């Protein structure tokens, strides 16, 4: 890069700043921030694969090593080698998923909090990611942002997508880093300032998406795996009305699924996630969906591209 990029802080930048960010960009760059290895393959993976195919540079930032994650694949849950070496195995799984998706990946170095269970819930383990001060925990991510210089970031909403303490902390850290990475007054030891231009939240399972797939299965004479979920949907939050951006990426659903299967300790290859035929998914709901949470460029919604408002300026350079 030919010059440093300086922002005025978390508020909207001047038009000049945006133009300077665009003008030094040789390639569009996307950073996705996730709590654990495997999250990148179940949330926005087809979108990443699509952008990689288009020449976008994509970096996954993984906050924790997944050390306290349960072994969710029934074929491996009693394997003594898996239980004794879960940290190393999950790193190897992440490396394989990274290769499948064609992305780069970096570990932020925090320790998995685990998912507390019981009534009352037990305290989180000392030193885990969920107990960190978000301002301090954002520093490794700020450093990574300043090194990679993403134009766009994705992360989770304020509820973490679901209330896992690491997902909630991932949201907090991502927002702090987005707002502070471009401030030249903060953390000069972490590198030259860089202000990402857009921040998105991954959209999880909305009722509309689940209902569309459910009805598609029934219309095809197939059993839907979502019947019970839909019956109990009133107990779940639904942010479907907050979706701003739908990225057409159905042709990359198979890449997404292969990456998810690479996390063999975390997913049963014959399980729930793979019950809907790919062809039906591609027909009924061929997008991955996002909420635009911050934008420092003109990008009217609804959108079909995470780089809307950015790509046009790059193409014009």
List, for residues 64-84, the tens digit of each pLDDT value.
999 999 999 999 988 999 989
Angstrom distance (rounded) from CA 189 to CA 166: 26
pLDDT of 20 reads 54
Domain that holds residue 148: 15-204+239-316
Q: Does 222 reside within a domain?
A: no
Look up the CATH number of the domain holding residue 106: 3.40.50.10320
pLDDT of 62 reads 98
Specify the pTM: 0.90
Q: Does 10 reside within a domain?
A: no
List, for residues 139-189, the tens digit of each pLDDT value.
999 999 999 999 999 999 999 988 899 999 999 999 999 999 999 999 999
List, for residues 200-245, the tens digit of each pLDDT value.
999 988 999 999 999 999 999 999 999 998 988 876 668 899 999 9
Mean pLDDT over 17-39 rounds to: 79
Question: Across all residues in the chain, what is the average pLDDT?
Answer: 90
Q: Does 221 reside within a domain?
A: no
pLDDT of 3 reads 30
Q: Does 141 reside within a domain?
A: yes
Give the number of domains in the chain.
1
Angle at 31 between CA 25 and CA 35, to 5 degrees: 165
> Read out DSSP for 220-285?
TT---TTHHHHHTGGGS---GGG--EEEE-GGGHHHHHHHHHH-TTT--TTSGGG-S-HHHHHHH-
């Amino acid at each position: 890069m030919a010059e440093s990029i300086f922002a005025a802080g978390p508020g909207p930048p001047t038009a000049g700043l945006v133009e300077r960010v665009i003008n030094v960009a040789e390639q569009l760059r996307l950073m996705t921030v996730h709590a654990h290895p495997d999250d990148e393959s179940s949330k926005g993976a087809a979108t990443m694969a699509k952008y990689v195919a288009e020449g976008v540079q994509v970096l996954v930032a993984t906050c924790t090593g997944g050390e306290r994650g349960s072994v969710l694949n029934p074929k491996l849950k009693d394997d003594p080698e898996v239980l004794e070496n879960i940290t190393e195995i999950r790193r190897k799984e992440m490396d394989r998923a990274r290769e499948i998706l064609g992305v780069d990946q970096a570990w932020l170095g925090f320790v998995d909090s685990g998912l507390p269970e019981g009534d009352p819930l037990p305290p989180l383990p000392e030193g885990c990611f969920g107990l960190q001060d978000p301002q301090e925990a954002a520093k490794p991510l700020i450093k990574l942002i300043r090194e990679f210089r993403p134009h766009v970031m994705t992360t989770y909403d304020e509820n973490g997508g679901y209330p896992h303490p690491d997902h909630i902390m991932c949201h907090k850290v991502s927002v702090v880093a987005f707002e502070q990475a471009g401030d030249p007054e903060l953390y000069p030891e972490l590198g030259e300032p860089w202000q990402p231009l857009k921040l998105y939240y991954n959209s999880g399972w909305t009722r509309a998406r689940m209902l569309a797939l459910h009805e598609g299965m029934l219309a095809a004479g197939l059993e839907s795996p979502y019947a019970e979920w839909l019956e109990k949907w009133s107990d779940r939050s639904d942010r479907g009305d907050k979706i701003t951006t739908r990225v057409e990426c159905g042709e990359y659903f198979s890449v997404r699924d292969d990456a998810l299967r690479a996390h063999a300790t975390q997913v049963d290859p014959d399980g729930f996630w793979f019950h809907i035929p790919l062809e039906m998914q591609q027909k009924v709901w061929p997008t991955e969906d996002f909420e635009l949470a911050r934008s420092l460029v003109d990008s009217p919604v609804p959108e079909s591209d995470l780089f809307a408002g950015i790509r046009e300026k790059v193409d014009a350079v």
